[in-house]
Amino acid sequence: MSDERLKSIDEATVEIIKKAEEENISTVFTRADEIKPCPIGVEESCCKICAMGPCRLPRTKKGEQGLRRGVCGATIDTIVARNFARKIAAGAASHSDHAREVVETFIKTARGETQGFAIKDEVKLIEVALDFGIDINEKSIKDIALELGEKALAQFGRQHGEITYIKKAPLRRQEIWRKHDVVPRGIDREVVEIMHRTHMGVDQEYTHIIQQATRCALADGWGGSMISTDLQDIMFGIPVPTPGTINLGVLKEDHVNVVVHGHEPLLPELLVVASRDPEIKRLAEKMGARGINLAGMCCSANEILMRHGIPCAGNFLQQELALVTGAVELMTVDVQCEMQGLQHVAECFHTKLITTSDRAKIAGATHIQFRPENGLDIAKDILKMAIENYPNRRHAINIPSHSQDTVVGFSHETINYILGGLFRASYRPLNDNIMNGRIRGVAGVVGCNNVRTTHDSGHITLIKELIKNDVLVLTTGCAAMACGKAGLLTPEASHTFAGSGLAEVCEAIGIPPVLHLGSCVDNSRILIAATAMVKEGGLGNDLSDLPAAGAAPEWMSEKAIAIGHYFVASGIFTVFGTTWPTLGSDRVTKYLFEDIGEIYKGMWAYEADPEKAAHLMIEHIDRKRKALGLDKARERVLFDMAMRRALD
Ligand code: NFS
């Protein structure tokens, strides 16, 4: 048997991997042992965009870069850049198509055509409407929402000009984007243009291909993703600090377990409502269960965890393992990060796998189309189906005992409020503590799990190193869930894991040293938080001036590349782990790691060792501190009570 301890640092995961192996159930962990990455594909030295190939261009001798060409004459630089750009197109398309679904539901809700949804946060509605230039005077909430919905929807199909949210960035940043001609015109247009330019025989100059990739990535971060976050907040509420529990141990043997997996928080929100319906509870009891236990998986989990405290069963590499416990009656999936292997595992048990989006079916799974028009009825039907499946359990139940308490839900608005208070909400205390050196800088650590590296290990090693060195961490996605399981999302973690400066500030305010900002589309919250720091003053005029860095130590999806690239194009130094998808071309790699820094003041780096990656980030943060003249400010100050109160 392979060594499960090399597969994950998480005890619950290790326990269930063992169970799957003993029972001969194929999971991502066993399949990864059977299939090794293709050595040519891993460095993207392969072109299959026309039928004269596929052309495989492995490295021969050093220095032969320029000689490596496909049948059509495309250089290795063109091929690698095209592959990189296509990843960004796919990533941006995924976030943005999620956003489109949210906007369409938002419009139907404003028209009163949905069941179970509402315009919940009117204050945020007004704020976002003003961002979109809507005249709100003497208009009803319904009319404002309708106008906002239509304007948001128009962002996707715009052909000219600039997408609206670009104006939310610091002015200096907007100037850089305009100067280098990368301001997105419309979200869909930028995705389509990448697909066109990377078709056989079109754009064949790697820097020019990367320029369009940059425009497309910005359309994701400052477009699709930001629209998702904002409209979700208006419909479901802005997240506020919420206690929660995380890991496979949240499943309950004596309850009907329903796991909601995927990304769009539409059906999940209604499953939360339906699961609290007394009639549903009664039905569950009638079947011999003590009730319904709803749990989240992946980014859907982040959404309902931070808005409702619904327990989270785990992150990306734990999706199949949740079913291997034998305790899951039903799992719903909508879009993105859902392994087809789920259906195979479901068939080994009594579990029903339900696809719910018209864009994603899985062979063998049951499809129940989610429609917002009768969303609550659909949610109830799904729960009833789970309840009816409860007596069909036919295997021994093995739920690991591990689960961990967390505090989640730190939106930009919440950070503002917690730091400054209701009447003087501001980032001033954060900026001041960065300027006086108690906090060295800020890092965004985000992204997936990747089975090619020890599950959760990259996230936790890197983040512990950062907070030990007084770097405040903002996290989302699977990285955030890894932090939750490792106990980093509790206020007490600052005492145990943070350096003395960061710990002083966290303890004074009562926050964890790692702040959970939500799902992957909520990386837009990190952009807005960083922008608020610039606007607060004292830390330069642009995002690239901030003592800040980004990382995705366990990335695997194309979405992660889109996210990383909009961080870079926003001026943030960004380090990825696991593997790097342009290693086939030294020129493209140098362009992304160095030259692009001259243009956007942010650049990529690749470092598979998470501890070394943390130090690359810290060195960058220290360089930025020096440029701001803050390098001498990091003397230690012991906080007395008066100083703590002043911080409050
Ligand atoms: Ni984002 Fe990766 Fe997926 Fe969420 Fe997790 S794998 S890029 S974190 S669940 S989207």
**d(C-alpha 116, C-alpha 135), whole Å:** 28
Give me the pLDDT at residue 422, please. 57
Ligand 1: atom nearest CA of 560 is 7
Is 281 part of a structural domain of the chain?
yes
Q: Are residues 47 and 84 in the same domain?
A: no
Q: 42 CA distance to ligand 1 centroid (A)?
A: 20
**d(C-alpha 117, C-alpha 279), whole Å:** 20
Q: 478 CA distance to ligand 1 centroid (A)?
A: 6
Dump pLDDT digits (tens) for 524-539: 999 999 999 999 999 9
Is 635 part of a structural domain of the chain?
no
Instruction: Give the Å distances, CA to CA, from 250 to 223, 623, 647.
Output: 35, 43, 36
Three-class SS of residue 411? coil
Give me the pLDDT at residue 18, please. 96
**d(C-alpha 438, C-alpha 408), whole Å:** 23
Q: 420 CA distance to ligand 1 centroid (A)?
A: 32
* Per-residue b or e along 294-324, where b marks 16 or more CB atoms closer than 10 Å to that residue's CB: bbbbbbbbbbbbbbbbbbbbbbbbbbbbbbb
Is 642 part of a structural domain of the chain?
no
Strand partners, 518: 476
Per-residue pLDDT band at 426 (split at 50, 70, 90): confident
Of 335, 333, 369, the closest CA to residue 351 belongs to 333
Of 114, 107, 106, 40, the closest CA to residue 79 belongs to 40
Residue 64: pLDDT above 70? Answer: no
Rg of the chain in Å (alpha carbons): 24
Final residue before a domain boundary, out of 213, 236, 259: 236
Dump pLDDT digits (tens) for 291-347: 999 999 999 999 999 999 999 999 999 999 999 999 999 999 999 999 999 999 999
Residue nearest ligand 1's atom 6 by CA = 448
Q: How many CB atoms lie within 10 A of CB 619?
A: 12
Assess contact for 331 and 293: CB atoms under 8 A: no
Q: Are residues 337 and 435 in the same domain?
A: no
Of 145, 111, 106, the closest CA to residue 125 belongs to 145
Residue located via tokens 């790697």: 206
Residue 524 sits at φ, ψ, to 5 deg, of -60, -30
Residue nearest ligand 1's atom 10 by CA = 520
Residue nearest ligand 1's atom 8 by CA = 477
Instruction: Give the Å distances, CA to CA, from 400 to 316, 325, 327, 421, 599.
Output: 17, 8, 11, 40, 50
Per-residue pLDDT band at 637 (split at 50, 70, 90): low
Is 414 part of a structural domain of the chain?
no
For residue 28, give both structure tokens: 């991502």
User: Can you give the residue range of the structural domain that contains 88?
Assistant: 76-236
* Per-residue b or e along 244-276, where b marks 16 or more CB atoms closer than 10 Å to that residue's CB: bbbbbbbbbeebbbbbbbbbbbbbbbbbbebbe
**d(C-alpha 154, C-alpha 187), whole Å:** 9
Q: 418 CA distance to ligand 1 centroid (A)?
A: 28
Q: Are residues 340 and 359 in the same domain?
A: yes
Q: Which of 160-174, 251-265, 410-424 has the lowest mean pLDDT?
A: 410-424
Q: What is the DSSP letter of 8?
A: B
Final residue before a domain boundary, out of 67, 92, 121: 67
Assess contact for 482 and 246: CB atoms under 8 A: no
Q: 316 CA distance to ligand 1 centroid (A)?
A: 7
Q: Are residues 356 and 297 in the same domain?
A: yes
For residue 578, give both structure tokens: 């696991």
pTM for this entry: 0.95
Three-class SS of residue 106? helix
Within 13 Å and on the Cβ side, how many CA atoms surround 125?
25
Give me the pLDDT at residue 28, please. 98
Ligand 1 neighbours (beta carbon < 6 A): 298-299, 315-316, 336-337, 447-448, 477-478, 520, 557, 559-560
Q: 303 CA distance to ligand 1 centroid (A)?
A: 12
Is 500 part of a structural domain of the chain?
yes
Q: Are residues 308 and 226 in the same domain?
A: no
Residue nearest ligand 1's atom 3 by CA = 337
Ligand 1: atom nearest CA of 520 is 1
Dump pLDDT digits (tens) for 322-333: 999 999 999 999
Pocket test for ligand 1, best of 87, 316, 524, 561 (most atoms within 8 A of CB): 316
Final residue before a domain boundary, out of 236, 256, 291: 236
Residue 58: pLDDT above 90? Answer: no
Residue 632: pLDDT above 90? Answer: no
For residue 422, give both structure tokens: 């209701």
For residue 129, give both structure tokens: 């409407």
% pLDDT > 90, the chain: 91
Is 90 part of a structural domain of the chain?
yes
Residue 597: pLDDT above 60? Answer: yes
Residue count of the chain? 648
Contacts of 456 (CB under 8 A, 6+ apart): 8, 9, 10, 13, 315, 449, 482, 485, 486, 554
Q: 277 CA distance to ligand 1 centroid (A)?
A: 30
Contacts of 192 (CB under 8 A, 6+ apart): none
Q: Are residues 175 and 270 in the same domain?
A: no
Q: Are residues 443 and 488 in the same domain?
A: yes
CATH number at residue 381: 3.40.50.2030
Assess contact for 559 and 94: CB atoms under 8 A: yes
Q: Are residues 189 and 283 in the same domain?
A: no
Q: Are residues 323 and 361 in the same domain?
A: yes
Give me the pLDDT at residue 639, please. 62
Pocket test for ligand 1, best of 337, 525, 555 (most atoms within 8 A of CB): 337
Q: 426 CA distance to ligand 1 centroid (A)?
A: 30
Dump pLDDT digits (tens) for 385-394: 999 999 999 8
% pLDDT > 70, the chain: 95
Q: Are residues 183 and 38 in the same domain?
A: no
Domain count, the chain: 4
Three-class SS of residue 472? strand
Is 407 part of a structural domain of the chain?
no
Ligand 1: atom nearest CA of 555 is 2
Residue 640: pLDDT above 80? Answer: no
Dump pLDDT digits (tens) for 146-159: 999 999 999 999 99
Q: Are residues 223 and 256 in the same domain?
A: no
Residue nearest ligand 1's atom 9 by CA = 298
Assess contact for 300 and 322: CB atoms under 8 A: no
Mean of the pLDDT values across residues 411-430? 81
Give me the pLDDT at residue 636, please. 53
Pocket test for ligand 1, best of 28, 264, 448 (most atoms within 8 A of CB): 448
Within 13 Å and on the Cβ side, how many CA atoms surround 370?
29
Contacts of 158 (CB under 8 A, 6+ apart): 185, 186, 187, 189
Q: β-strands 292-297, 312-314: how paired?
A: parallel
Within 13 Å and on the Cβ side, how many CA atoms surround 457?
18
Q: Which of 122-126, 286-290, 427-431, 623-627 has the lowest mean pLDDT?
A: 427-431
For residue 301, give both structure tokens: 């989990």
Q: 384 CA distance to ligand 1 centroid (A)?
A: 29
Ligand 1: atom nearest CA of 302 is 4
Q: Are residues 283 and 425 in the same domain?
A: no
Give me the pLDDT at residue 309, please. 94
Give me the pLDDT at residue 47, please. 97
Q: 447 CA distance to ligand 1 centroid (A)?
A: 5
Per-residue pLDDT band at 451 (split at 50, 70, 90): very high
Per-residue pLDDT band at 635 (split at 50, 70, 90): low
Assess contact for 27 and 20: CB atoms under 8 A: yes
DSSP string for 67-103 = G-B-TT--BHHHHHHHHHHHHHHHHHHHHHHHHHHHH
Residue nearest ligand 1's atom 2 by CA = 448
Of 622, 557, 76, 45, the closest CA to residue 337 belongs to 557
Is 411 part of a structural domain of the chain?
no
For residue 544, give both structure tokens: 């690239």
Per-residue pLDDT band at 1 (split at 50, 70, 90): very low
Mean pLDDT over each residue of the chain, to the nearest integer: 95
Q: Categorise residue 464: left if φ over 0, alpha if ψ from -120 to 50, beta otherwise.
A: alpha
**d(C-alpha 462, C-alpha 615), whole Å:** 9
Give me the pLDDT at residue 436, please. 95
Residue 63: pLDDT above 80? Answer: no
CATH number at residue 151: 1.20.1270.30
User: Which stretch of DSSP H or E encloses residue 54?
Assistant: none
